[in-house]
Chain A
Amino acid sequence: DGGITQSPKYLFRKEGQNVTLSCEQNLNHDAMYWYRQDPGQGLRLIYYSQIVNDFQKGDIAEGYSVSREKKESFPLTVTSAQKNPTAFYLCASSILRTGLLSYGYTFGSGTRLTVV
Chain B
Amino acid sequence: AQSVAQPEDQVNVAEGNPLTVKCTYSVSGNPYLFWYVQYPNRGLQFLLKYITGDNLVKGSYGFEAEFNKSQTSFHLKKPSALVSDSALYFCAVREEGGYSSASKIIFGSGTRLSIRP
Chain A residues with a Cβ under 8 A of chain B: 6, 33, 40-43, 45, 48, 50, 56, 88, 90, 92, 94, 96-98, 101-102, 104-110, 112
Contacts and interface: CB of A to CB of B under 8 A. Distances in A.
Interface in B16-49: 32, 34, 36, 41-46, 49
Contacts of A106: 46
B92 A90 contact: no
19 contacts: A42-B109, A45-B104, A48-B104, A90-B43, A92-B44, A97-B99, A98-B99, A101-B96, A102-B51, A102-B94, A102-B96, A104-B32, A104-B94, A105-B105, A107-B44, A108-B43, A109-B42, A110-B43, A112-B41
Contacts of B110: 41-43
A33 to B, nearest CB: 8
Nearest to B51: A102
Interface of B: 32, 34, 36, 41-46, 49, 51, 90, 92, 94, 96-99, 101, 103-105, 107-110, 112
Contact of B94 (A43, A88, A101): A101
A107 B90 contact: no
A98 B98 contact: yes
A96 B105 CA distance: 11
Contacts of A96: 99, 103
A43 B43 contact: no
Which 3 A-B residue pairs are closest in the complex by CB-CB distance?
A: A107-B43, A42-B109, A102-B51
A64 B12 CA distance: 37
A97 B109 CA distance: 27
B42 A110 contact: yes
